[in-house]
């Protein structure tokens, strides 16, 4: 595998260069490769083509195990430590996983290894969805698809950048991507087992090397309010919800030397579009990448349809399910003007108010531009006459001038899209990727937590 060949080369040519920096643990390329070789030699001889579930609590131990499994031609299954024993056991049973590797070492399960060669060549690993709506689904990622993503990233990133930092858990798609991306190019990956933005920035200052930060929106908020300026941060990539214009300005104030790119993509489709330094329209998610083809199905009169994506960066399908179509459904409603992509919201989130389609994400984008609103989410409430109503939950001042907000929204959305009620909340539930969890917010609202 080309990734392993590169690591072996870096270990020989730049042995003292730091490969992984995780709080108190640093691994040079030479040390990393030595650990990988040692661990791989201790693995069973029948490891080829076998799924190995990785559950380490320490990222440094995880990456050694991940690479050691690849050396023996096995398939790392990146589950992480956050799942309960019941969830792990259910996944092991569902997919008949023969090996589990965690802090206590490698152990065999009751399932016999299968020696059938995989139908997907160059399989890199199996990741898992968040599991918020049931048992996590395993999605397969091959190396060529990530190499295609690396090439797209390379067009945006200055080649002289020496370090890449992602502070989320290693089982999160963005963090794992950045880690492998750094190793692919022989750079230094900086991460954390316990998220602490200030410490992460202090590591960059200590290294005194140019750095690219890969963040989710909640980390952006932390970085802004920390106010810790860094001359070494030259590029910030943001994956998740869009930044408001005001939030973008605040981030630029803290990191004045940095370019800021906002990605739109999914774990299955990888990168789809990018807004470079907010040069694309504010209400868009940027311009489509040149190697991405999109189509909108079941379009309405406004040109809004369900978004499907095709590119060399997409995943290889879900574990245990039939082969996927070349077109990947993102689960979003969208419209396209030239090469600019405008998201209207998730398919399951659409409201129908008085027979009209209402897309909560559009309303939320506008609400977040109001200076006093820190964050907001739209939830639904049944209504006898109109079918549904939009309710705005927001973090902000207790004395928000709701009528002023409504008047301001009238020039931006239709009257039936304006929330019928605004409810101030102390906090909102977030997903691991830094997005507000609409499902959890809806549950909390229905339960009366926000009254």
pLDDT digits (tens, 9 = 90+) for 267-302: 888 999 999 988 888 788 999 999 999 999 989 888
* Residue 130, Cβ density class (10 Å: 0-12 exposed, 13-18 middle, ≥19 buried): middle
pLDDT at 416: 87
Shared domain for 9 and 132, answered yes or no, is yes
Shared domain for 404 and 437, answered yes or no, is yes
pLDDT at 131: 61
Q: Which residue do the tokens 């941060």 mark?
A: 233
| Domain membership of residue 427 as a residue range | 350-447
Q: Phi/psi class of residue 170: alpha, beta or left (left: φ > 0; alpha: ψ in -120 to 50)?
A: alpha
Domain stop point among 346, 362, 387: 346
Closest-CA residue to 188 (of 179, 200, 201, 176): 179
Shared domain for 235 and 132, answered yes or no, is yes
Shared domain for 178 and 46, answered yes or no, is yes
Cβ contact 204:233 at 8 Å? yes
Neighbours of 440 (CB within 10 A): 15
Model pTM greater than 0.95?
A: no
pLDDT tens profile 57-85:
999 999 999 999 999 999 999 988 888 88
Strands 138-142 and 123-128: antiparallel
pLDDT tens profile 151-169:
999 999 988 899 999 998 8
> How many distinct structural domains can be found in the chain?
2
Domain stop point among 346, 378, 406: 346
Shared domain for 11 and 80, answered yes or no, is yes
Shared domain for 196 and 244, answered yes or no, is yes
Both structure tokens of 419? 């929330």
Q: What percentage of the chain exceeds 90 in pLDDT?
A: 51
Q: Report CA 158 to chain centroid distance, whole Å.
A: 22
Domain stop point among 346, 375, 408: 346
pLDDT tens profile 132-142:
557 888 899 99
Strands 188-191 and 163-166: parallel
CATH of the domain at 415: 3.30.300.30
Q: What count of Cα atoms within 13 Å lies in the side-chain half-sphere of residue 20?
A: 26
Shared domain for 334 and 381, answered yes or no, is no
Torsion angle, CA of 244/247/251/256, rounded to 10 degrees?
80
Contacts of 436 (CB under 8 A, 6+ apart): 241, 375, 377, 428, 429, 430
Shared domain for 331 and 307, answered yes or no, is yes
pLDDT exceeds cutoff 70 at 117? no
Distance CA 344, CA 70 (A): 40
Task: Tell me the three state secondary structure of residue 167.
Answer: coil
pLDDT at 307: 95
Shared domain for 340 and 355, answered yes or no, is no
Neighbours of 114 (CB within 10 A): 13
Distance CA 245, CA 369 (A): 7
Distance CA 45, CA 66 (A): 17
Closest-CA residue to 342 (of 377, 298, 376, 294): 294
Shared domain for 182 and 261, answered yes or no, is yes
CATH of the domain at 130: 3.40.50.12780
Shared domain for 326 and 177, answered yes or no, is yes
pLDDT at 218: 80
Closest-CA residue to 24 (of 234, 223, 192): 192
Query: Rounded to 5 degrees, what angle do the CA atoms 169, 331, 316 make?
Result: 65
Across 30-39, 47-56, 341-350, 408-417, the highest mean pLDDT is recorded for 30-39
**pLDDT band of 438, cuts 50, 70, 90:** confident
**pLDDT band of 227, cuts 50, 70, 90:** confident
């Amino acid at each position: 595998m080309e990734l392993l060949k590169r690591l072996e080369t870096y270990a020989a040519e730049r042995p003292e260069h730091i490969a992984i920096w995780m709080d108190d643990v640093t691994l040079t390329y030479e040390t990393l490769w030595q650990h990988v070789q040692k661990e791989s030699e201790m693995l069973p001889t029948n490891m080829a083509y076998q799924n190995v579930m990785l559950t380490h609590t320490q990222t440094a131990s995880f990456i050694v195990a991940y690479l050691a499994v690849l050396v023996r031609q096995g398939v790392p299954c990146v589950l992480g430590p956050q799942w309960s024993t019941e969830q792990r056991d259910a996944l092991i049973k569902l997919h008949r996983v023969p090996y589990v590797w965690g802090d206590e070492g490698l152990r065999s399960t009751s399932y016999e290894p299968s020696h059938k060669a995989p139908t997907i060549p160059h399989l890199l690993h199996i990741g898992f969805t968040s599991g918020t709506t049931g048992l996590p689904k395993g999605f397969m990622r091959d190396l060529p698809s990530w190499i295609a993503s690396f090439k797209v990233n390379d067009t945006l990133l200055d080649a002289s950048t020496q370090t890449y930092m992602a502070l989320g858990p290693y089982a999160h798609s963005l963090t794992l991507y950045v880690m492998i991306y750094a190793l692919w190019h022989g750079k230094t990956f900086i991460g954390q087992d316990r998220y602490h933005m200030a410490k992460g920035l202090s590591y960059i200052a200590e290294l005194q090397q140019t750095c690219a930060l890969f963040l989710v929106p909640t980390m952006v908020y932390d970085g802004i309010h920390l106010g810790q300026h860094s001359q070494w941060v030259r590029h910030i990539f943001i994956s998740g919800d869009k930044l408001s214009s005001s939030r973008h300005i605040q981030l630029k104030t803290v990191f004045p030397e940095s370019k800021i790119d906002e990605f739109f993509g999914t774990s299955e489709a990888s990168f789809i579009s990018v807004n470079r330094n907010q040069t694309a329209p504010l209400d868009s998610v940027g311009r489509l990448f040149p190697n991405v083809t999109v189509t909108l199905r079941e379009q309405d009169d406004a040109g809004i349809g369900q978004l499907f994506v095709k590119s060399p960066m997409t995943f290889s399908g879900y574990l245990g399910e039939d082969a996927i179509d070349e077109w990947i459904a993102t689960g979003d409603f969208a419209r396209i003007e030239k090469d600019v992509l405008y998201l209207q919201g998730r398919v399951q989130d659409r409201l129908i108010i008085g027979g009209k389609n209402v897309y909560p994400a559009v309303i939320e984008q506008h609400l977040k531009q109001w200076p006093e609103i820190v964050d907001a989410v739209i939830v639904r409430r049944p209504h006898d006459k109109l079918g549904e109503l939009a309710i705005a939950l927001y973090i902000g001042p207790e004395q928000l001038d709701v009528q002023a907000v409504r008047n301001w929204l009238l020039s931006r959305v239709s009257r039936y899209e304006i929330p019928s009620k605004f409810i101030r909340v102390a906090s909102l539930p977030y997903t691991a990727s830094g997005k507000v969890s609409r499902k959890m917010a809806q549950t909390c609202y229905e339960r009366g937590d926000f009254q």
